């Protein structure tokens, strides 16, 4: 499977710049999320991959699905992607755009994987430390994952801090196998 993020990044930067210029960067983020969800349905994926249809027809179909929720920037983005035969990048563009928006807002999306959900006091302590380090507007999500056995694993963007028992066991096995 080809990595799409390097292909999507220039599109995301251009869309973000255009949205920032007119002050619609948060609205366009929501629109791209909608387009991303739509593009991942099996019907739209099949439509995008259908070699018998023109890319402009596919773009118009996608635009029609959510035309009431799209600004001119999002419509132009879909049309440009169709023209460049890159409609398969919609989801990757959304992810890159979200990263740019988080950097602009100086926030982060943080996922904390725990073996069992912590008490409210412990949650608040973890959230306080993370917001101090990564910004007040950071969104923090706790996900229960019994497979980590204990401890926690924190994912911030594309970085992971693994403080779980599973992670420590893997590290030990790797050291023993050198």
Separation CA 62–CA 77 (nearest Å): 12
- pLDDT, one tens digit per residue, over 49-94 is 888 888 888 888 888 888 788 889 888 999 998 899 888 889 999 9
Taking domain 5-104, whether its CATH number is 3.40.309.10 is answered by: no
Q: What is the mean pLDDT of the segment spanning 6-17?
A: 89
Q: Is the pLDDT reported for residue 175 higher than 70?
A: yes
The fold of 107-177 is Glutaredoxin (3.40.30)
Per DSSP bridges, beta strands 159-164 and 151-156 are antiparallel
- pLDDT, one tens digit per residue, over 109-130 is 888 899 888 889 999 998 888 8
Q: Is the pLDDT reported for residue 20 higher than 50?
A: yes
pLDDT for the residue numbered 1: 47
Domain-wise residue ranges, the chain? 5-104, 107-177
């Amino acid at each position: 499977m080809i990595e799409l993020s390097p292909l999507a990044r220039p599109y995301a930067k251009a869309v973000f710049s255009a949205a920032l210029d007119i002050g619609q960067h948060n609205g366009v983020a929501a629109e791209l999320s909608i387009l991303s969800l739509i593009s991942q349905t099996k019907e739209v994926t099949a439509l995008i991959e259908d070699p018998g249809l023109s890319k402009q027809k596919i773009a118009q179909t996608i635009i029609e699905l959510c035309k009431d929720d799209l600004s001119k920037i999002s419509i132009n983005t879909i049309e440009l992607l169709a023209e460049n035969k890159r409609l398969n990048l919609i989801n990757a563009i959304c992810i890159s755009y979200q990263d740019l928006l988080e950097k602009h807002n100086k926030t982060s999306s943080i996922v904390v994987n725990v073996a069992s959900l912590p008490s409210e006091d412990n949650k608040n302590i973890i959230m306080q430390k993370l917001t101090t380090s990564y910004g007040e507007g950071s969104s923090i999500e706790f996900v229960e994952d019994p497979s980590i056995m204990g401890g926690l694993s924190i994912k911030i963007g594309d970085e992971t801090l693994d403080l779980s028992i599973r992670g420590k066991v893997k590290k030990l096995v790797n050291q023993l196998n050198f």
